[in-house]
Structure 1
Amino acid sequence: MEIDPNCAVAHGQGDAIAHGYESATPETRTLVAVFASPVAHFLIRYGRDLGYHTTLVEPERGRVTNDENAETTVLTALPPSIDGDTDVIVTDHHRPELGVFLRDALALDVRWVGIMGSPRHPGPHLSALKELGVADEDIARVHRPIGLNIGSRTPAEIAIATLAGLIADRNGKPGGFDF
């Protein structure tokens, strides 16, 4: 019985690159989760499994768990330079420093910037960024909501939807079940 090479890759029995799946062995990718939160915890955990180099940015070190300290790089501010293959996700839209972190992320060479939030409510990031003098075209670069619409309710589900959306975006795909 001949094994389909695509199936072999999916089951970990084949070489993804040999079968034309170069993205299965990802280039250097970085995922920056801003603000320690349950969603950030799962983004870091699952992001590492997907091949991302992960970083948690949390200005209040007391909010960072021991697990997060052990699993990822933890910083109190965004690094001054980031390569263009970085995705930044702000995981708490209630923090007073929200606008400053988004403004600083937009000023860096990042691939993608998003903030959690319900599409049913106006995003507090809009007024925060306008008050900081961020240009409308830069504000428009902030994705909200983040992730695929799978009806996410729990932090783990939100992280999965977000990461799936990032993978789809990175691969130029719309996400969903239409092929």
Structure 2
Amino acid sequence: MLDIAEELHRWCGLGRPFAVATVVATGGSAPRQPGAALAVDGDGAVIGSVSGGCVEGAVYELCQEALNGQGPDVVLERFGYSDEDAFAVGLSCGGVIDVLVQRIDPARRPETAHALAAAAGGATAALARIVRGPAELLGAALLVDADGGFEGTLGDPRRDRAAAAQAHALLAAGRTGTVEIGADGSRCGVPLTLLVESRTPPPRLLVFGAVDFAAALVRAGAFLGYRVTVCDARPVFATAGRFPDADEVVVQWPHRYLEAEAAAGRLDARTAVCVLTHDAKFDVPLLERALRLPVAYVGAMGSRRTHLARLDRLRESGLTDLDLARLHSPIGLDLGARTPEETALSIAAEIVAHRYGGTGAPLTGAHTPIHRTPGAPARHLGPPAA
């Protein structure tokens, strides 16, 4: 539900109860991943999505029933493909999703309200909820912060500590997913499945080189949800007016800016670095440092001849072939791009493909999964609870 935290936080501020349906497990070609949510308030207003349209009507009715007392406050339902009723209550794409529908009263669920406030404010936080287990525990939640502290309870102190530790590990990786703990907090006993929704600040896209291609890439990065920084040592080019979609424009030697950001702990394993300057005096010292950092992606613009010459200079600076294997250059996927906008699309597509392990090949005729999750495959919960 943290994917729609801003609006839900506003509802909490009004003190109104609402029902939220959250995808907690997927199988096959499911259109949305765990954590995707749809919510309904007392007036019937609806936000979010759990399936891209396939089962929204049925989920809406379950939310209405939970709100109006015509159904349980918490229920786990499974939706899958049905030949007889594919477009009414089934997934026409052939996938399977388990959806937890839960009535939320902000006054009775302060940890959930606080999680929504944290997520809406851009803070780092995780919400861990029991999504499979005894009926009386379904929907119980913990709010876990960046330091591993927690608020709320799952009904047992040992259980709380075990769940908080698992949730903190996922939060540190910036991942949403399911984990299992024993009902008594150990690894033994009856298992409980928890959905951990992580919300972290947006990943960063660092664009070096205040050129026309950079302006287009800034727009693409912002569209994808990155916090975008443009950096160039030339103040005449690096201006906010030329890059209105950037979150910040920095006038600084690129390698010095990168070093300062790394030293300040403002780069992480989700950060993408794109070097568009096409000038060795900027590129080489910058790439020498970037390829030694544990960032997600490092790409550099230039022709194949430029790339080969750049590799020679980087080897002279002490980088190994293993370091250089991380460099995406010439940058981007082979789309036949020519304009700055097409080139930006090519670069953005490569960043997304690299993040999820995509091939960049056409899906037509392919036998690879359409949807991927970084770090872990989708998990199944088994039969839904009664």
Determine if the TM-score, normalized by the shorter chain, exceeds 0.5: yes
Task: Check if 1:15 corresponds to 2:48.
Answer: yes
Name the CA shift for 1:153/1:14 in 2 (closer, same or farther; >3 Å): farther
Partner of 2:311: 126
Partner of 1:51: 225
Given the alignment, which residue of 62, 72, 75 partners 2:247?
72
Structure with the larger strand share: 2
Given the alignment, which residue of 272, 293, 299 partners 1:87?
272
The secondary structure found in structure 2 opposite 1:32 is strand
Q: Tell me the distance in 2 between the aligned counterparts of 1:39 and 1:146.
A: 12
Q: Tell me the distance in 2 between the aligned counterparts of 1:160 and 1:166.
A: 10
Greater relative CO, 1 or 2 (CA 8 Å, sep 6+): 1
Q: Tell me the distance in 2 between the aligned counterparts of 1:151 and 1:14.
A: 38
Runs of 4+ in 1 over 2 A off after TM superposition: 13-16, 69-72, 92-95
Larger CA Rg, structure 1 vs 2: 2
Partner of 2:351: 166
Q: Verify the 8 A CA contact 1:36 1:58 in the aligned structure 2.
A: yes
Given the alignment, which residue of 311, 315, 325 partners 1:140?
325
Q: Tell me the distance in 2 between the aligned counterparts of 1:122 and 1:68.
A: 27
Equivalent positions of 1:152-163 (< 5 A) are 152-163=337-348
The offset of 1:115, in angstroms, is: 0.7
Task: Check if 1:109 corresponds to 2:294.
Answer: yes
The offset of 1:71, in angstroms, is: 2.9
The offset of 1:131, in angstroms, is: 2.5
The secondary structure found in structure 1 opposite 2:345 is helix
What are the Cα deviations for residues 44-97 of structure 1, in whole angstroms up to 9, with x where unaligned? Answer: 111101101111121222221323267331232212341111011111223422
Q: Verify the 8 A CA contact 2:229 2:246 in the aligned structure 1.
A: no
Partner of 2:214: 40
Q: Tell me the distance in 2 between the aligned counterparts of 1:130 and 1:15.
A: 50
Q: Tell me the distance in 2 between the aligned counterparts of 1:176 and 1:15.
A: 30
- The alignment yields a C-alpha RMSD, in angstroms, of 2.8
**TM-score between both structures, scaled by the size of structure 2:** 0.39
Name the CA shift for 1:14/1:95 in 2 (closer, same or farther; >3 Å): farther
Q: Tell me the distance in 2 between the aligned counterparts of 1:145 and 1:33.
A: 15
**Matched residues, number:** 166
Q: What is the aligned-residue identity percentage?
A: 32
Unaligned runs of 5+ in 2: 1-29, 37-45, 52-96, 98-175, 177-198, 367-386
**TM-score between both structures, scaled by the size of structure 1:** 0.79
Structure with the larger helix share: 1
Q: Tell me the distance in 1 between the aligned counterparts of 2:214 and 2:358.
A: 24
Name the CA shift for 1:97/1:122 in 2 (closer, same or farther; >3 Å): closer
Q: Verify the 8 A CA contact 2:208 2:232 in the aligned structure 1.
A: yes
Q: Tell me the distance in 2 between the aligned counterparts of 1:128 and 1:36.
A: 23
Q: Tell me the distance in 2 between the aligned counterparts of 1:164 and 1:34.
A: 18
Residue type matched to 2:300 in 1? Answer: I
Q: Verify the 8 A CA contact 2:332 2:346 in the aligned structure 1.
A: yes
Unaligned runs of 5+ in 1: none
